[in-house]
A and B are shown apart, each in its own frame.
Chain A
Amino acid sequence: MTPPPVLAVNRLCKTYGSTLAVDDVSFDVGPNEIVGLLGPNGAGKTTTINMILGVLEPTSGAIRIEGLDIATRRSQALGRTNFAAVYAPLPGNLTVAQNLRVFGMIYGVSDLAARIEQLLGEYDIRAFRDTKCGLLSSGEQTRVSLAKAMLNRPHLLLLDEPTASLDPATARDIRRCIREFAASASGGVLWTSHNMYEVEEVCDRVLFLARGRILLEGDPSTLPGEHGKQTLEELFITVAREPLTLEQD
C-alpha cells in the first residue's frame, strides 16, 4: 500500500488580476521523497511555495499537509512544516541562538535547548551562536536558516534555492544533511534550485514548471533522455525557451 503523501497539491491556481501565475497545478510529495520544483524565473515556483506556506491564498485549488487542509487547519498544518528560502533570512538584529530559541518556541519544540545545541553542531554554526545573524556571511546565514528549518523536525520541508549562496563544499554538506533528513525521518522535501547538477544528485523526482503550469514530471536521471536531451540542464533550457515544443511531445 502506498503511504499517504506528506504534501498533496490539487488543481492549484493563482491569478493576479488578468495574470495567471499558477495554472491548475497538482502534485504530491511522499514520505522520504525529495521533489525538485524546477523552472525559469517567473515560472510560479515561489508563488506555489508561498501558497503551501499559507502566506498567499490560492485563487482556487487545495493544499493538504499530511491530510490537513492549509485553508481550514492552517496552524496545525504549518506546525508540521518548515522552510528555508534565500529571500527570507532570519532577523539580523538577533543572535543565532536567540533566533533559534524564538522560532523554536513558535514551533513548540520540546527540549528546545538540546535541540538548538544539536543543530548548531549539525550545521557547523556553533562558533556563531552569540553572533548577530546580520553579521554573518550569506553562506553562514543560509546555514542558520536551514537550522531554523529543521528545528521542529518538519514532516514537510520547503527549500527555495537553499544552496544559492553557498560555496561548493558547504553546498555538498547541506545536500548531504537534506538527504539524511529525507532518508531517516518520514519527512518529504520540496526543493527548488537552478543548479541542475544538484537537482540530479538530490531529487528523487522533478517537476518542470513553466508559465505557471507543470510541463514535465519524472526521474531526473531519465527525464532528459525521454525528451531527446542529453542533460537536465539542456532540458531546463528548452523548458525556459521553447516550452511549446515540450507540450507537443
Chain B
Amino acid sequence: MRTLAIVLRQFYLIRGSPSRIFPLFAWVAIDIVLWGFITRYLNTVASPGFNFVPALLGAVLLWDFFTRVMQGVTMAFFEDVWARNFLNVFATPLTIAEYLSGLVLSSIATSALGLVVMLLVATVAFGLPFFAYGVVLIPFVLVLFLFGIALGIFGSAIVLRLGPASEWFIWPVPALVSPFVGVFYPLSTLPSWMQYVARSLPPAYVFENMRRVVGGGHASGAALAWSVVLGALDIVLACWFFSRVYRYAVRTGLIARYSAESVS
C-alpha cells in the first residue's frame, strides 16, 4: 500500500500536467523519426542487401527505452526534490525499500508508454520488424530495464548526496554510457580499455547480440544470461548505495536541511 502511494502521487502529477505527459513519448518519438530517415537514407547509399532499419533503428529504440526507464526512476525521485518533500516522505513509516519500489513501479508505467509509442512510430512509419528479433527480445528488454532501474536508483542517490543542483550530473548519464556499450557499432571497434569497461555493462551484451541476430546469426544465451545477472547485481549495488547515502543524510541532518545542499 505504501509503495502504491508513491505510484499514485506520480500518477496524480502526470495526469494533471501536459509538461510531464509530453516528454514521456515526444522526445523518443522524435528520435525514432530522425533515425528512421537516417536509416532510409543509408539504405539508399550503402551496398544492397544490408538493411539498416533493424540494425540502427532497432538499436535506437532499445537505447531510448533504457533511457526512459532510467529517467522514469529519477523523474519520480526529482518530484520529491523539487517539491521539497523529503521531510514529509521520510518522517513516515515508509521504508527505503518501499520508496524505491514505488519509484521503480512508476518507471515501469512511464517507460512502457514510451516503448509503445516508439514501437508504433518505428513499425508503422519505417517498417521496423521489431518482433523479427524473436524471443531474444525478452532478454534484450529485460536487461535494459534492469540496468535502467539500477542507473536510475544510483542517479537518485547521487542527487540525494550532492543536493538539488546535482541533477544536471544525472541527465547526461545515458549519453556518457552509450559509447561504451556499442549501441551503434561492434565492441571490437573500441580500444581495449573501453572494451574492458563495456564487459561490465549489461547493455553491451544486448547490442552485440542484437547485431548478431540482425546479421542472421544467433544470440548467445550464455552472454544474455550473464547480462541479466549483471543487471540484477547492479540493482542490488544501486539499492545498497542509495541506502548508504540515505543513512549518511540521516546521520548528518542532510535530509532535514536538504535545500542547503550540504551540512557544512
Which of A31-39, A76-84, A184-192, A217-225 contacts its partner? A76-84
What is the bound-complex CA distance between A57 and B134, given in angstroms? 52
Given A102-B8, A105-B1, A106-B2, verify A55-B91 contact (CB < 8 Å).
Answer: yes
Nearest chain-B residue to A54 (Cβ)? Answer: B91
Given A91-B83, A91-B85, verify A56-B95 contact (CB < 8 Å).
Answer: no
Nearest chain-B residue to A80 (Cβ)? Answer: B93
Nearest chain-B residue to A112 (Cβ)? Answer: B1
* B83 in contact with A93 (CB, 8 Å): yes
- Min distance, Cβ B3 to any Cβ of chain A, angstroms: 9
Select B91's contact among A53, A76, A105, beta carbons within 8 Å.
A53
**B87 close to chain A: CB less than 8 A:** yes
* A108 in contact with B12 (CB, 8 Å): no
Contacts of A101 in B (CB 8 A): 8
**B188 close to chain A: CB less than 8 A:** no
Main secondary structure of the interface of A (DSSP, over half): mixed
- Min distance, Cβ A91 to any Cβ of chain B, angstroms: 4
* B250 in contact with A57 (CB, 8 Å): yes
Contacts of A95 in B (CB 8 A): 12
Interface residues on A, range: 20 to 34
* A106 in contact with B5 (CB, 8 Å): yes
Nearest chain-B residue to A79 (Cβ)? Answer: B93
Select B5's contact among A54, A78, A102, beta carbons within 8 Å.
A102
Given A57-B251, A103-B88, A105-B4, verify A94-B93 contact (CB < 8 Å).
Answer: no
* A16 in contact with B91 (CB, 8 Å): no
The tally of residues in B whose CB lies under 8 Å from a CB in A reads 31
Q: B62-91 interface mask toward A, CB cutoff 8 Å, 1 = contact, 0 = none? A: 000000000000000001000111111111
Given A88-B88, A102-B5, verify A75-B256 contact (CB < 8 Å).
Answer: no
Contacts of B89 in A (CB 8 A): 106
Main secondary structure of the interface of B (DSSP, over half): helix
* A56 in contact with B8 (CB, 8 Å): no
**B13 close to chain A: CB less than 8 A:** yes
In this complex, which of A55, A92, A107 has the most chain B Cβ atoms within 10 angstroms of its Cβ? A55
* A108 in contact with B93 (CB, 8 Å): yes
What is the bound-complex CA distance between A75 and B90, given in angstroms? 10
* B95 in contact with A75 (CB, 8 Å): yes
**B186 close to chain A: CB less than 8 A:** no
* A50 in contact with B253 (CB, 8 Å): yes
Contacts of A170 in B (CB 8 A): none
* B250 in contact with A54 (CB, 8 Å): yes
- Min distance, Cβ B34 to any Cβ of chain A, angstroms: 32
* B13 in contact with A105 (CB, 8 Å): no
- Min distance, Cβ A169 to any Cβ of chain B, angstroms: 27
In this complex, which of B12, B79, B88, B89 has the most chain A Cβ atoms within 10 angstroms of its Cβ? B88
**B263 close to chain A: CB less than 8 A:** yes
* A98 in contact with B12 (CB, 8 Å): yes
Given A94-B12, A98-B12, A102-B12, verify A16-B251 contact (CB < 8 Å).
Answer: no
* B2 in contact with A105 (CB, 8 Å): yes
Nearest chain-B residue to A105 (Cβ)? Answer: B5
The A35-62 residues at the B interface (CB cut-off 8 A) are 46-47, 50, 53-57
In this complex, which of A50, A83, A90 has the most chain B Cβ atoms within 10 angstroms of its Cβ? A50
**A214 close to chain B: CB less than 8 A:** no
- Min distance, Cβ A157 to any Cβ of chain B, angstroms: 13
Contacts of A83 in B (CB 8 A): 91
What is the bound-complex CA distance between A92 and B17, given in angstroms? 13
Nearest chain-B residue to A132 (Cβ)? Answer: B16
Contacts of B29 in A (CB 8 A): none
**A159 close to chain B: CB less than 8 A:** no
**A85 close to chain B: CB less than 8 A:** yes
Can you name 21 A-B residue pairings with CB atoms under 8 Å? A16-B252, A46-B256, A54-B90, A55-B256, A56-B253, A57-B251, A78-B91, A87-B87, A88-B87, A89-B84, A91-B9, A91-B79, A102-B5, A103-B88, A105-B4, A106-B2, A106-B92, A106-B93, A106-B94, A107-B92, A107-B93
With A53-B87, A105-B8 already in contact, 16 other A-B pairs whose C-beta atoms are closer than 8 Å: A16-B252, A16-B263, A50-B256, A53-B91, A55-B87, A55-B90, A55-B256, A56-B250, A56-B255, A57-B247, A85-B87, A91-B83, A102-B9, A106-B89, A106-B93, A148-B88
